[in-house]
Amino acid sequence: MNPIIEIGDHPGMRVAVYPGSFDPVTNGHLDIIHRAAKVFDKLIVAVLNNTSKNPLFSVEERTELLWQATRDLPNVEIDSFRDLLINYMKQKNAHLIVRGLRAVSDFEYELQLASTNRKLCEDIETFFMTSTPKYSYLSSSIVKEIARFHGPVADLVPPEVERALRGKYGSGSS
């Protein structure tokens, strides 16, 4: 039996998980989400609750911002997890992981993750999606740094994230 054909909530449904911290979600993330939503029957965007990091936004805030930014995509579900990704995948009966690649420098780290996940569970496959060139430089860290110094982020994040960043850092208007 081919696990890609018989997975998810219904036989034949292709369920993929796009995991990440999304602190905050950027237009680069949304590009991957929109493109992956066209490929898979159901895409679960899973916000990682990494207790070893000190995120700007809480898991609840990140989940809400993602929901607001993707509410027009009927086959996208927003969720969060704090366990191993493989355990989360099993819980969701999903076998496909979506990962975005911005640059060649991302590939080594992502290959290591994909290989580790595959070692932990042979039924898991990772699909790499390359970033659209206009977002290849974009990261949540860059967005937070610009916003922290009250720089313009409107072209980098959805409007709800821009408002949330202004709320965290102040408007910076003089």
Residue 90 annotated to the active site: no
12: left (phi over 0), alpha (psi -120 to 50) or beta: left
CA diameter of the chain: 63
Residue 14 annotated to the active site: no
Residue 168 annotated to the active site: no
* List 42, 62, 95, 140, catalytic entry: 140
* List 52, 53, 173, 174, catalytic entry: 53
Residue 53 annotated to the active site: yes
Give the span between the Cα atoms of 148 and 15, in whole angstroms.
37
The values of phi and psi at residue 4, to 5°, are -75, -25
As given in the structure block, the two tokens for residue 133 are 């060139």
Mention every residue, 6+ apart, whose C-beta is less than 8 A from residue 13. Answer: 7, 41, 42
* List 29, 42, 95, 99, catalytic entry: 29
* List 62, 102, 131, 144, catalytic entry: 102
Which has the closest alpha carbon to 24: 167, 171, 128, 173? 167
Handedness of CA 84, 40, 137, 104 (dihedral sign): positive
Catalytic residues: 29, 53, 102, 140
